[in-house]
Amino acid sequence: MFDFDWEGMWISEPLVAADLFDKAKEVARSFVYKSGLQNFYNKLGAAATFFPCKDILNEPTVLLTKTPRIPGLDGRKMSKSYRNVITLSESDEDIRKKTKGMVTDPARKRRSDPGNPDVCPVYDWHKLFSAEEPGRLEWVRQGCTTAGIGCIECKAAMADNLIKWIAPVRERRVDYEKHSKRVLEILDDGSNKARKVAQGTMDRVREAVFGWEKKKKEIGGAAAKA
Ligand code: SF4
């Protein structure tokens, strides 16, 4: 039984709180590594000493986007259970309402206080959604650090870009929701592609551990003689 949690789709990528970022990268790296290659070494035991694993298997690494660290609306780790996310099903109105309440640089208590975009979750979101808009990131940095802009207009500009970004994604989501069969086909296609890659890896491993091709010929020859 396969059940889609459509509401659970939110705009996060690998989203982690700022202070956990480096730790999370390390955990992700070691998880990928340990779940694959290290596990394989362990299974080989003492034989691993004689086995040229490094030439057969590539040590996995973590692939990060340009904006790997995006906090939730409240500045904490983005999580559905914290209710600090924007889901793909939300209306433009809800997006504006939620982003209006986003946490900002706490140093900007008054409109006249200069701020620091580098400690502000709204700027993190700007980096994700406003990077394509010429001059917008500079506008935020300049306006924030000189108190030339207020947080309300800064958030509104970010919400405009978020809404532009989310509109086609939301459309596709609605379409897929109506056509769940197509989603299953896409998942099947992906599984088939992954299976081919996994088979290639296992071929290399068998060859390295057992001399698989030679072994097959030996067994085949013996069977023919019998
Ligand atoms: S102006 Fe923008 S970047 Fe600066 S503190 Fe306010 S919301 Fe954050």
pLDDT at 222: 81
In this structure, whether the domain defined by 72-178 belongs to CATH 1.10.240.10 is answered with: yes
Q: What is this structure's pTM?
A: 0.70
In whole angstroms, give the CA distance from residue 89 to residue 156. 20
With a Cβ cut-off of 6 Å, ligand 1 is lined by 104-105, 108, 115, 117, 120, 122-123, 140, 144, 149, 151, 154-155
Q: Which atom of ligand 1 is nearest to the CA of 150?
A: 1
- Compute CA 81 distance to the chain's CA centroid, rounded to the nearest angstrom: 18
Determine the longest span between alpha carbons in the chain, in angstroms.
93
In sequence order, what are the residues at sequence separation of 6 or more whose Cβ sits closer than 8 angstroms to the Cβ of residue 138? none
Confidence of residue 51 (pLDDT cuts 50, 70, 90): low
* Ligand 1, pocket-test mutation among 124, 151, 161, 162, most atoms within 8 A of CB: 151
pLDDT at 4: 36
pLDDT at 6: 39
- Compute CA 33 distance to the chain's CA centroid, rounded to the nearest angstrom: 17
Which residue's CA is the nearest one to ligand 1's atom 3?
117
Which tens digits make up the pLDDT trace of 146-188?
Answer: 999 999 999 999 999 999 999 999 999 999 999 999 999 999 9
Average of per-residue pLDDT across 67-86: 93
In whole angstroms, give the CA distance from residue 133 to residue 145. 20
Tokens of 18: 């700022």
Residue ranges covered by each domain of the chain: 1-69, 72-178, 180-225
In whole angstroms, give the CA distance from residue 180 to residue 178. 6
Tell me the CB-side half-sphere exposure of residue 68, using CA atoms within 13 A: 12
- Taking all residues of the chain, what is their mean pLDDT, rounded to a whole number? 84
Written as one letter, the residue type at 63 is: L
